[in-house]
């Protein structure tokens, strides 16, 4: 049977505000750290955006290769990247 992976929610289900991390724990020794922590910048991106970044790195930054692998045009990949850069700037790059 296939195990379903739980995904980290990024926004409050009630008001859509960005969520913060409040508790971290170690399964090995049961140490807990509680507080008010920001999610890392890349963790604030959607799963699709994170996959795009991983594919970008795997292709050594070649938008031409990415376009070929994604089955879209170079300008389409360039636009996706530009949108992602703008989002990163907006959320705190």
Domains with residue ranges and CATH for the chain: 41-91 (1.10.10)
Q: Which helix (H) or strand (E) holds 6?
A: none
* Amino acid 1: pLDDT: 62
Exposure string of 46-57, with b = 16+ CB inside 10 Å and e = fewer, is eeebeebeeebe
49: helix, strand or coil: helix
Q: Going residue by residue through the chain (93 aa), what tens digit of pLDDT does each one get?
A: 677 777 788 889 999 998 888 999 999 999 999 998 888 888 889 889 999 999 999 999 999 999 999 999 999 999 999 999 999 998 876
């Amino acid at each position: 049977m296939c195990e379903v992976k739980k995904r980290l929610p990024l926004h409050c289900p009630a008001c859509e505000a960005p969520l913060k991390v409040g508790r971290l724990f170690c399964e090995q020794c049961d140490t807990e750290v509680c507080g008010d922590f920001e999610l890392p910048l890349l963790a604030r991106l959607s799963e699709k955006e994170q996959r795009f970044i991983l594919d970008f790195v795997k292709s050594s930054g070649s938008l031409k290769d990415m376009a070929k692998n994604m089955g879209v045009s170079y300008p389409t990949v360039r636009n996706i990247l530009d949108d992602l850069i703008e989002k990163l700037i907006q959320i705190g790059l």
